C-alpha cells in the first residue's frame, strides 16, 4: 500500500502545526486514546532545526515526562537554580529555590524538545504529515469542521470533530473564526533581538540578563559547549552586515562588570534577528475550533514563556478532550479559553515587565532609565521584589 493511501480523511481532532504545541497535544491525545492527525506545512528537518526558546518550567518538564518524551532531557538538560541580572556594572543573582520554596528551571532547547516528540510520534503515535500545508479551515460552527490542505501537490481535506490551530502567529486556523468574534490585544516593541549561536563554552553557569546604557543583552546556552547570546538591536537590523568582531565587542560592552569576569568568544554558527511582540487573541475557542500556543498568543522572549505557555495550553486541552471522549461531558472544553487566559495574561504581564525593565527604547527619556535602575535596585534589595520575579520566572503548577 502506498503511503498516500494511508492518509486518513476523517479524525476526531485535526491538529494544524507540528511545533511544540501541536506535537505535544498529539502525544497527549494518543496516550488518552483520542484519535488525531497532525498536518505540518514544513519538512521535518526545517521543523527540527528552527532555533527558538531554551528554558523549560517545571510544569513543562512534568508533562514531557508524563508523555515519555523526556529520556534525553533527563540526560542532557542543565538544571538552573537561578539567573543573574546585570546593571550599573554589577550583577545580582536571583536564587530560585530559596525565593520560591524549591522551584528551578531546565535549560533544554526547543529544537531538542521538538526532535524528541517527533521521534516518539513516528514510532508510536497518530499520523503526522510533513509538507502538508493547511490552506483553510471551514465549518467552525458546524459539527464537522474541515481542514483543507495540500500535500505533495494534491489538494486534500480532513474532516474532524474538532480542529486545533497550533499553527503559530502566521497560521490559517484563526481565520476560520469570524473576525468580529475575536478580539486581539497587541503591542509591538521598538526594538528586536539579534540572536547568535556560538561554539564556545558559556561564560557563566547561569543566564545573565543585562541592562546597559547600550541596550539589553542576554547570555544563554544550549549545552556546556554551545552559547546562545542575544543583543537588543533596532527594528529592521540586517544581521549579516555585522562582523563577528562587532557582535562580540558589543556583547562585551553590554555585559561589562567591575572585576575580572570576561566573555569568551568563539565561532558564530547561526545568526538571526527577531522582532518583539506581545499579542493575545480572545477567546481561544470558537465553535469547534480551538487555538493553542503562538496561534493564540505571543510574548516577547525576555520572560522565556512562549514555549511554556504553548505546553500549558495543550495540557489543559488534552485533559478536556479526554474527559469529553470518556464521559461525553464538554465542561472542560467549554472552560478551555477562560482557564488558559489566566496563565496567558500573567505571562504577558511578566514578559512585558522584563522587557520594558531591561531594554532601552530609542530616544528613551533619562527619567525612564532612572525608573528602570530603581526597579532593579529594588529587586536586589528586597526579597519580596526578588521573589515576585522568581515566582513568575519558574511558573506555576498546572
Ligand atoms: P510554532 O513553534 O510557531 O509552531 C507552529 C507550527 O505550525 C506550522 N504551520 C502550519 N502547518 C500547516 N499548515 C499551515 N498553514 C501552517 N502554518 C504554520 C509551522 O510550520 C510550525 O511548525 O508554535 P507553537 O507550537 O505554538 O510553539 C510556540 C513556540 O515556538 C514559541 O512560543 C517560542 O519559540 C517563542 N520564541 C521564543 N521563546 C522563548 O521563550 N525564547 C526564545 O528565544 C524564543 N525565540 C521564539 C523565538 C519565536 C520565534 N518566532 C515564532 C518568530 C524565535 C522566533 C523566531
Ligand atoms: C534562549 O536560550 O534562547 C533564551 C533563554 C531565556 C530567554 C530567552 C531565550 O528569556
Per-10-residue mean pLDDT, the chain, length 398? 68 98 98 97 96 94 97 97 98 98 97 97 93 98 97 96 97 97 98 98 98 98 96 98 98 96 97 98 98 98 98 98 97 98 98 98 96 98 98 96
- Do 241 and 292 belong together in one domain? no
- Ligand 2 pocket test, pick from 20, 52, 53, 231 with the greatest ligand atom count within 8 Å of Cβ, gives 53
- Do 131 and 160 belong together in one domain? yes
301 counts as catalytic: yes
CATH number of residue 377's parent domain: 3.30.9.10
Show the domain range for 340: 10-53+110-185+278-350
Cα of 302 from ligand 2 centre, angstroms: 7
351 Cβ inside 6 Å of ligand 2? no
Active-site hit among 115, 297, 301, 336: 301
- Do 327 and 195 belong together in one domain? no
Residue 185 CB coordination number (10 Å):
12
At residue 1, the pLDDT reads 33
- Do 20 and 125 belong together in one domain? yes
C-alpha pair distances (Å), 165 with each of 21, 173, 390 = 9, 5, 31
- Do 309 and 164 belong together in one domain? yes
189 counts as catalytic: no
Tell the residue nearest (CA) to atom 47 of ligand 1: 52
- Do 166 and 200 belong together in one domain? no
228 Cβ inside 6 Å of ligand 2? yes
User: Which CB contacts under 8 angstroms, 24+ apart, belong to 233-240?
Assistant: 233/191, 233/192, 233/193, 233/194, 233/273, 234/191, 234/192, 234/362, 235/190, 235/191, 235/192, 235/275, 236/192, 237/192, 237/194, 237/273, 238/273, 239/194, 239/271, 239/272, 239/273, 240/271
Cβ neighbours of residue 161 closer than 8 Å, sequence gap 6 or more: 11, 12, 13, 143, 144, 288
- Let me know if residue 100 belongs to a domain: no
339 counts as catalytic: no
What is the rounded distance in angstroms from the CA atom of residue 334 to the CA atom of residue 319?
12
Number of domains in the chain: 2
- Do 346 and 236 belong together in one domain? no
- Let me know if residue 304 belongs to a domain: yes
Query: Which of 329, 350, 371 is at the close of a domain?
Result: 350
53 Cβ inside 6 Å of ligand 2? yes
Cα of 230 from ligand 2 centre, angstroms: 8
Cα of 299 from ligand 2 centre, angstroms: 12
- Let me know if residue 213 belongs to a domain: yes
Contact 352, 187 (CB under 8 A): yes
- Let me know if residue 101 belongs to a domain: no
Ligand in closest contact with the CA of 164: 1
Nearest ligand 2 atom to alpha carbon 354: 10
Active-site hit among 108, 149, 162, 393: 393
Global pTM value = 0.97
- Let me know if residue 338 belongs to a domain: yes
- Do 143 and 35 belong together in one domain? yes
Cα of 82 from ligand 1 centre, angstroms: 26
- Let me know if residue 272 belongs to a domain: yes
305 counts as catalytic: yes
User: Which CB contacts under 8 angstroms, 24+ apart, belong to 203-206?
Assistant: 203/227, 203/261, 203/262, 203/263, 203/264, 204/84, 204/261, 206/80, 206/81, 206/82, 206/83, 206/84, 206/93
Secondary-structure percent of the chain, ordered helix, strand, coil, rounded to 5: 40, 30, 30
Cα of 53 from ligand 2 centre, angstroms: 5
At residue 211, the pLDDT reads 98
At residue 5, the pLDDT reads 55
At residue 3, the pLDDT reads 46
Active-site hit among 189, 209, 230, 336: 209
- Do 48 and 147 belong together in one domain? yes
Tell the residue nearest (CA) to atom 1 of ligand 2: 54
39 Cβ inside 6 Å of ligand 1? yes
Cα of 134 from ligand 2 centre, angstroms: 30
- Do 163 and 135 belong together in one domain? yes
What is the rounded distance in angstroms from the CA atom of residue 151 to the CA atom of residue 178?
26
Active-site hit among 30, 115, 305, 359: 305
393 counts as catalytic: yes
Cα of 168 from ligand 1 centre, angstroms: 5
227 Cβ inside 6 Å of ligand 2? no
Cα of 72 from ligand 2 centre, angstroms: 20
- Do 257 and 196 belong together in one domain? yes
- Let me know if residue 282 belongs to a domain: yes
Q: Which three cell numbers stand for residue 102?
A: 524549591
CATH number of residue 167's parent domain: 3.50.50.60
- Let me know if residue 381 belongs to a domain: yes
Contact 127, 22 (CB under 8 A): no
- Ligand 2 pocket test, pick from 51, 85, 114, 220 with the greatest ligand atom count within 8 Å of Cβ, gives 220
- Do 115 and 25 belong together in one domain? yes
Active-site hit among 8, 80, 275, 352: 80
Amino acid at each position: 500500500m502506498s503511503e498516500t493511501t494511508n492518509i486518513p480523511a476523517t479524525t476526531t481532532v485535526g491538529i494544524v502545526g507540528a511545533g511544540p504545541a501541536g506535537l505535544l497535544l498529539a502525544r497527549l491525545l494518543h496516550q488518552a486514546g483520542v484519535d488525531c492527525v497532525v498536518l505540518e506545512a514544513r519538512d521535518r528537518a526545517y521543523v527540527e532545526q528552527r532555533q527558538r526558546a531554551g528554558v523549560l518550567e517545571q510544569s513543562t518538564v512534568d508533562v514531557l515526562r508524563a508523555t515519555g518524551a523526556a529520556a534525553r532531557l533527563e540526560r542532557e538538560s542543565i538544571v538552573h537554580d537561578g539567573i543573574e541580572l546585570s546593571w550599573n556594572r554589577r550583577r545580582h543573582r536571583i536564587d530560585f529555590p530559596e525565593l520560591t520554596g524549591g522551584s528551578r528551571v531546565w535549560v533544554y532547547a526547543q529544537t531538542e524538545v521538538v526532535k524528541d516528540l517527533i521521534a516518539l510520534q513516528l514510532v508510536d503515535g497518530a499520523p503526522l504529515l510533513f509538507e502538508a500545508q493547511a490552506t483553510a479551515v471551514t465549518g467552525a460552527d458546524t459539527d464537522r469542521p474541515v481542514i483543507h490542505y495540500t500535500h505533495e501537490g494534491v489538494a486534500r481535506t480532513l474532516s474532524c470533530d474538532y480542529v486545533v490551530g497550533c499553527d503559530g502567529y502566521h497560521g490559517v486556523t484563526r481565520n476560520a473564526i469570524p473576525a468580529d468574534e475575536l478580539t486581539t490585544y497587541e503591542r509591538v516593541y521598538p526594538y528586536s533581538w539579534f540572536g547568535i549561536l556560538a561554539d564556545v563554552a558559556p561564560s557563566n553557569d547561569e543566564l545573565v540578563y543585562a541592562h546597559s546604557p547600550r541596550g539589553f543583552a542576554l547570555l544563554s546556552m544550549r549545552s556546556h559547549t554551545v552559547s546562545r547570546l542575544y543583543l537588543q538591536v533596532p527594528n529592521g537590523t540586517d544581521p549579516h552586515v555585522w562582523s563577528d568582531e562587532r557582535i562580540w565587542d558589543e556583547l562585551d560592552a553590554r555585559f561589562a562588570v567591575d572585576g575580572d569576569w570576561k566573555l569568551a568568544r568563539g565561532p558564530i554558527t547561526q545568526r538571526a534577528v527577531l522582532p518583539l511582540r506581545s499579542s493575545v487573541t480572545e477567546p481561544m475557542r470558537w465553535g469547534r475550533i480551538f487555538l493553542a500556543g503562538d496561534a493564540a498568543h505571543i510574548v516577547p522572549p525576555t520572560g522565556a514563556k512562549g514555549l511554556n505557555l504553548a505546553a500549558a495550553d495543550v495540557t489543559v486541552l488534552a485533559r478536556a478532550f479526554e474527559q469529553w471522549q470518556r464521559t461525553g461531558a464538554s465542561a472542560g472544553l467549554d472552560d478551555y479559553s477562560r482557564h488558559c487566559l489566566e496563565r496567558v495574561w500573567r505571562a504577558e504581564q511578566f514578559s512585558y515587565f522584563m522587557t520594558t525593565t531591561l531594554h532601552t527604547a530609542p530616544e528613551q527619556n533619562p527619567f525612564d532609565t532612572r525608573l528602570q535602575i530603581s526597579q532593579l535596585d529594588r529587586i536586589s534589595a528586597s526579597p519580596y521584589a526578588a521573589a515576585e520575579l522568581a515566582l513568575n520566572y519558574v511558573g506555576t503548577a498546572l
